[in-house]
Chains A and B, each alone.
Chain A
Amino acid sequence: MEKTDGVVVEDVYVPSARRLERERHRRARTRRATAVAALSTLATAAVLYLVVTNSPGWPRTRETFFSAEYARDALPEVIDGLWLNLRLLVVCGAAVLVIGMLLAVARTLRGPVFFPLRALAAAYTDFFRGLPLIICLLLVVFGVPALRLAGVTTDPVLLGGAALTLTYSAYVAEVFRAGIESVHPSQRAAARSLGLSNGQALRFVVLPQAVRRVVPPLLNDLVSLQKDTGLVSIAGAVDAVYAAQIIASKEFNYTPYVVAGLVFVALTIPMTRFTDWVTARMDRRRAQGGTT
């Protein structure tokens, strides 16, 4: 409210001419940028399309890799096999998180009395991170039944899951350890000075921060595990990729592989988006000055 010449003028905001001009200019620039981006994208797509479709082998490639008829035949089989991948992913994923966390905690324990535990955990992670997964699978899936131990399963899926868990626990343990070591020592010191025991400091102060920091790399390992579940097919179990291979080698057509690949990508994309969302949320919280 303001008095000028005895008239009461409503104090309404009116953008100045200069401001309007500036906004107009900005909008124009944005429009132009969008148009240029769209145009260059279209041009690139056109070039790629022409390169592929004008290549001399395109008709045969289309018939071999993108045949609708074979895709229709393969899809139900691939989806059927995918059920095995998903079950393995859930069970192994849960086991890997638990074992990985235990290994990471064992490696970061302080005090000379825990030396054997630390050494064992370190030896385990070194060995299983270095051992190629396919060799680990072969040894477990065909080696364990050869021992003829009473009461030990010979089911290739269970054994394959065990081999996956062995290898991936080592990866995930290192991720957790990186998280634990990234928490500043002052946090632990502050917790101890408040009267928390070593265990309590780890449980209530260090681990929550550590886990939150390593969520993105953890999900990365989970996506990787999802794709590697197919390797248990070495022992005869039929997963999505193997179902595709069976059809492909029977019919001499590669379309089922393309179908299986797309199915896996379709599974991975939601997971990736979820990872991005988690990361963004964490960044927002940190920016608001919350605890990291």
Chain B
Amino acid sequence: MRPATRPRRRTTSPAQFATFAALTVTAVAAVTGCAPQPESPVAAPGASASCAPGKLSTEVPGKLTIGTDKPAYAPWFEDDDPANGKGFESAVAHAVAKKLGYGKDEVVWQTVPFNTAFAPGEKKFDFDINQISISDSRKKAVSFSSGYYDVRQAVIALKSSKAAKVTTLAGLKDVKLGAQVGSTSLDVVNDVIRPGQRPAVFQKNDFAKTALKNGQVEAIVLDLPTAFYITSAEVPEAKIVGQLENTGGAGEQFGLVLDKDSGLTSCVTGAVDALRADGTLAGLEKRWLSEAADAPVLK
């Protein structure tokens, strides 16, 4: 049996339709008519940006905002506090700030996870210092200052393991290796060592250290200063097996990361170059990073 009355089908009344159409038109008008947000200040080509001390167009006027990840690891930072000027990168950042005319109290530190340092959109920092290696493909997404540190990669392993006795690159081929994601160490593993089994890739060096202690990886590849720090202070039962030759023409360098085409790039690069020329960078290296000379080179 059918019910006597059937429910009315829902249809769009002309009034509803008109309302919808009006809304649509308004939305389109609003979109096409809205003024684009101003992008970050871009230096006009040809015109040299004024690098007058303390007069830069920074994120927060009158302050220099510097980003780095948390936790901030030794020997690059100390006590997880980038503002204290201790540790190599903290010292470099403050030296650069000083060159640009910003004293210690005019520097603001921001926590910037590695993965957001290269996100498009507005940056919350003037530059980011986080052991980030300069590469051509990365230059498409961000701007780099000139390099402030020449990186060498090293291999560490537990003293008791067979990996600790390796003396050649070929000897690392059948070792279970680990490296940190986003690091050039991982590229070294994949392109230079080319091990037989897939390397383990870790989010943080902390996980890599734990896996090394547990025997889940036999050796870790990382930059030499970190390798020295880990083997001397954190995992004394590990040793540096050796360092790798710096491959490529200019070698690998850490650079300061700025927003793509940021107007500050030339000023920051100028500051880094000046610090290199007057020997400040070399002095800071001597002070905060161990001498790398005594690690044998694996060939």
Using CB atoms and an 8 Å cutoff, list the residues of chain A in contact with chain B: 29, 32-33, 36, 40, 43-44, 46-47, 50-51, 54-57, 60-61, 63-64, 142, 145-146, 154-156, 233-238, 242, 245-246, 248-254
Contact = CB atoms under 8 A, between A and B. Distances in A.
Contacts of A233: 201
Nearest to B33: A54
Given A33-B11, A46-B28, A154 B215 contact: yes
Interface in B1-45: 9, 11-12, 17, 20-21, 24, 27-28, 31-32, 36-37, 39
B48 interface: no
A54 B200 contact: no
Interface stretch (B74-82, B98-106, B113-121, B242-250): B113-121
Nearest to A44: B24
Interface in B197-235: 198, 200-203, 207-208, 210-211, 213-217
A164 B182 CA distance: 26
B115 A251 contact: no
A60 B28 CA distance: 22
B216 A154 contact: yes
Dominant SS at the A interface? helix
Given A46-B28, A237-B200, A253 B211 contact: no
A236 B27 contact: no
Contact of B37 (A36, A56, A237): A56
Interface residues of B, number: 45
B181 A249 contact: yes
A58 to B, nearest CB: 10
Given A47-B27, A253-B141, A234 B207 contact: yes
Which of A54, A235, A245: most chain B CB closer than 10 A? A235
A54 B31 contact: yes
B178 interface: yes
B211 A252 contact: no
